[in-house]
Amino acid sequence: MEKQELNKSLSSNQMQMIALGGTIGVGLFMGSASTIKWTGPSVLLAYALAGVILYLVMRALGEMLYLHPITGSFADFASEYVHPAAGFVTAWSNVFQWALVGISEVIAVGQYLQFWWPHFPGWVAGIVVVVTLCLANLATVKAYGDLESWFSIIKVITIIFMIILGLLVIIFGLGNHGHPVGISNLWKHGGFFTGGFKGFMFSLSIVAASYQGIEVVGITAGEAANAQESIVKSIKSLVMRILIFYIGAIFVIVAIYPWNQLGSIGSPFVKTFAKVGITFAAEIINFVVLTAALSGCNSGIFSASRMLYTLAQNGDLPKAFTKVSRRRVPYWPVIAISAGILVGTILNYVLPLFTHSAANIFVLVYSSSVLPGMVPWFVILISHLRFRKLHQEELVNHPFKMPGAPWTNWIALIGLVIILLFMFINPETQASIIVGVIFEILLIICYFAFRPRSLQESEK
């Protein structure tokens, strides 16, 4: 069969916005207080340390993508430089993660719409959202990129506005009767490290999970115009932007409000906007988190569909999944993942009618996507080690090499392992990690037990 190529029309800016859309989600706007409870103001350091690991992961990915800008990127790299089983597990882990993200975000959309229309059925909103985003993804990759860019711009503008207003409150006392709030809340109320070493490490594990999705920039590489230039621009600025947005917003929050009171004030974003006299703050933030949820689902459909396309190219799914439309979009993967998200969304509303334990099952399944979401980071760092050995000549004049490799690879890998260990220790994340481990083991068993032996032999 003639290989059908995907459209290459994503710009560097669109690639960055897609990755921002996948990384900066509802958690920052609504759930930032939960990451602060473990360790207080030192959560800022947790975001910075996780950001360093994230930077190393993305630089390793960028070095490989510069030579091989392909759709499926890190899954293909895992197959080529580690073992085909690693590529299989990575691709399915990514599909699993983004499918669950998509389901959770669609459910969230229904809840946010009830802010304005309390009796609006959530399942109706779910159907409308999934069908609309599916059609957008089926149109052209540029249409998807444009839509995701607008979703991301709304989030970015809100965060920048929040940071500016917060600094005005901290420095000039805006909304505080002209009395500067200052930054003393960073060390009052129990100190900077309020939860001790263990609390800090618990928060670090949750913070690391909040960065998941940034690697989607690797999946977009195969559909980028001027791929090499776009990859370098995207990765250089992307990590810094995310760190500024996350750390800037969290800094403002923990400086203005005592960390131990955040759990009782609702969304810190709403509270900050209201503090400076924006009386319709709740409406603004509800609209922003609504677009954040739409963005998360949109990223989920795109990312998971491209991984299904990659799996089909490797013979792990029917060849129909490699077919592309006239606009060069892999339509069966897009339809399949959209259908999966829709079924999951409907089940979320239907199952509780039959069993009271269904809600707890869904929460456990959603949280179990954390480990599969970290699998790409591990395989990127490990693949990069072998990539360097096999491409020494090409690396001589490579303009975007990972700094400090291979030592930085091992530093990042050790950091990720430590984070996982503390997720096992933490009672609140233990169950989800165990479920994630079981899922990964099942994938490995499926590869060796059910994959056609002819395919396994051809890969040796």
Question: For 41-82, how does the pLDDT look when each residue is reduced to its tens digit (9 = 90+)?
Answer: 999 999 999 999 999 999 999 999 988 887 668 899 999 999
pLDDT value at position 119? 87
Please give the Cα distance from 318 to 330 (Å, whole number).
Answer: 13
Query: Confidence class of residue 444 from pLDDT cuts 50, 70 and 90?
Result: very high
Least confident of 143-147, 299-303, 416-420: 143-147
Percent of the chain clearing pLDDT 70 (strictly above): 91
Has residue 123 got a pLDDT over 70? yes
Average pLDDT, the chain: 85
Sign of CA dihedral 341, 347, 349, 355: negative
Q: Which residues pair with 129 in a beta bridge?
A: none
pLDDT value at position 87? 93
Model pLDDT for residues 150-183, shown as the tens digit of each residue: 888 898 898 899 899 999 999 999 888 888 999 9
Has residue 285 got a pLDDT over 70? yes
Has residue 390 got a pLDDT over 90? yes
Average pLDDT value for residue range 414-439: 90
Has residue 445 got a pLDDT over 80? yes
Measure the CA angle with vertex 405, ends 404 and 407; round to 5°: 85
Has residue 417 got a pLDDT over 80? yes
pLDDT value at position 217? 79
pLDDT value at position 180? 93
Query: Confidence class of residue 295 from pLDDT cuts 50, 70 and 90?
Result: confident
Please give the Cα distance from 136 to 328 (Å, whole number).
Answer: 14
Q: Which fold has domain 12-458?
A: Amino acid/polyamine transporter I (1.20.1740)
- Domain borders along the chain are 12-458
pLDDT value at position 420? 93
Has residue 443 got a pLDDT over 60? yes
Has residue 5 got a pLDDT over 80? no
CB burial of residue 50 (10 Å; 0-12, 13-18, 19+): buried
pLDDT value at position 1? 39
Query: Which residue type sits at 190?
Result: G
Q: What's the per-residue H, E or C state across the chain? A: CCCCCCCCCECHHHHHHHHHHHHCCHHHHHCHHHHHCCCHHHHHHHHHHHHHHHHHHHHHHHHHHHHCCCCCHHHHHHHHHCCHHHHHHHHHHHHHHHHHHHHHHHHHHHHHHCCCCCCCCHHHHHHHHHHHHHHHHHHCHHHHHHHHHHHHHHHHHHHHHHHHHHHHHHHHCCCCCCCCCCCHHHCCCCCCCCCHHHHHHHHHHHHHHHCCCCCHHHHHHHHECCHHHHHHHHHHHHHHHHHHHHHHHHHHHHHHCCHHHHHHCCCHHHHHHHHCCCCCHHHHHHHHHHHHHHHHHHHHHHHHHHHHHHHHHCCCCCHHHHCCCCCCCCHHHHHHHHHHHHHHHHHHHHHHHCCCCHHHHHHHHHHCCHHHHHHHHHHHHHHHHHHHHHCHHHHCCCCCCCCCCCHHHHHHHHHHHHHHHHHHHCHHHHHHHHHHHHHHHHHHHHHHHHCCHHHHHHCC
Residue keyed to tokens 């249409």: 143
pLDDT value at position 459? 57
Q: Which residues pair with 224 in a beta bridge?
A: 10
Q: Which residues have C-beta within 8 Å of that of residue 201, sequence separation ≥ 6?
A: 418, 419, 422
Has residue 30 got a pLDDT over 70? no
Model pLDDT for residues 352-383, shown as the tens digit of each residue: 777 666 666 666 666 678 889 999 999 999 99
Has residue 342 got a pLDDT over 50? yes
Has residue 2 got a pLDDT over 50? no
